[in-house]
Each structure stands twice: as C-alpha cells, then as structure tokens.
Structure 1
Amino acid sequence: MTGNATNVTCAAREPLLAAAERHNMLPIAVLVATPVSVCIERQGPRPANRTVPQDTVIKQGKGMADSYRRLKSEGFPEIVFSDSLRRLSDAEDAAERGELAGAVARPTGEEW
C-alpha cells in the first residue's frame, strides 16, 4: 500500500488489505511524506484539468498524517516511512539485498 491522496481513509485501504490477504501477501504501508506546501506548489505546472483545489490538498495532507497513527491497528504490520523517493529507493535496494525487513518511523512536523 502506498499512502497517497487516493487512500488516506481506512475505508479506502480496506480493499488493499483484502487484496493482500487474497494473494497471501504481507501488507506493507509505504509512505513518502511530501510537505503540503510542496504539494500545493506542484499544482502550478499541471494542466488545468489535473489540478487539485488547495483546500483539498490541505485536507488530504491532514488525512495522511491522521492515517499514519492507525495503520498498524488496521492490519499493516510493516510501515515504511520515507521523506523522499530517493531514500525509498535506497530502502528498496537494501530490502533486495536482504538487509531490511521493514522500517517503522514516526513523521513529525512539516514532514506532513
């Protein structure tokens, strides 16, 4: 499961957990924290039909932060948190080498 604007609610994640169970896979929540200010800034170059209203971006950012606190109780035994896609790529490389079983970190402040 990748935490993003499309699955910041428990109800949106339920089908992902069900799919993992159906396929006998370990559900792992992967969150890449992009500050809301950066998300809003990135709206600029998007075509008009692909922009998201600022209040929606702010709501989704809050939803992401709130979701983090509940992921384990929802059924995600592993939570991988990264503050950048590059770090996530490094973690993926380590996992492929068998050096990473999973990581749990707590985001703080402007990371959300």
Structure 2
Amino acid sequence: MALIVNEIFYSIQGESSWSGLPFVFVRLTGCNLCCLYCDTPYAREEGSPWDMESVLARVKQFHCPRITITGGEPLMQEQTPVLVRRMIEEGLMVTMETNGSQDIARVDAHCIKIMDLKGPSSG
C-alpha cells in the first residue's frame, strides 16, 4: 500500500528541542482539521503515491540520521506507523508532528511524538 507524500526535503529544524539541527522532513498528505493559521494548507490535498521503499531510499539520499514525519496529520494514513517502524529499524531517529486527534498508540514507542493540540477556536 502506498503513502501519499506531499514532499520530502532536507532543512534545519525550526521547532521543538531540536531547533537548529539538520533534519529530513517527510510531509505526508491529508489532515482532518482546517486550522485557520495552518502554514501548510497545501498538504491537506496535494501529494502523490510513493511506495515505502521509495520513501526510505529518498530519505537515505540526504545522509541525515534525524527524520521528522509531518503533514497535514501523518496519522491519517494507515501506513504511517509502518514507515516509522521501518525508519527506526534503519537506525534513524524519528520524530512525528501530530495534531493529537488520532490514536498514537499504534506508533513505535521509540518515535518521539510532538503533539500540537488544537482547540475549538482553531477552525
């Protein structure tokens, strides 16, 4: 089963306790919220199907051990926990940004979850 990927890119982390460090970002498509202040509204619908091996191969091309899986809401896709587990098995440090609306229990315990809870006034 494919993941719908919006973009994969290398950049400096600007949020969390890892600010200032290089990361590879895997932005997955889809979100169940429509926050008025969203900085990536294009990630709600834009993206293309990638098989798991292609995502892993692209991530490895950057030679960076730190990965952030983001969205949209990454847990809207059933294969996200599988991707996280595969990355951890490859020896990568994985963080995942989530809006907290989806069950994180299915995500590998070694994944660092960064939860940004959205209140009713967010849209």
Q: Identify the TM-score tier after normalising by the shorter chain.
A: 0.3 to 0.5
Normalized per residue, the structure richer in strand is 2
Greater length-normalized contact order (CA 8 Å, ≥ 6 residues apart) = 1
The structure with the larger Rg is 1
Normalised by the length of structure 1, the TM-score is 0.38
Normalised by the length of structure 2, the TM-score is 0.35
Normalized per residue, the structure richer in helix is 1
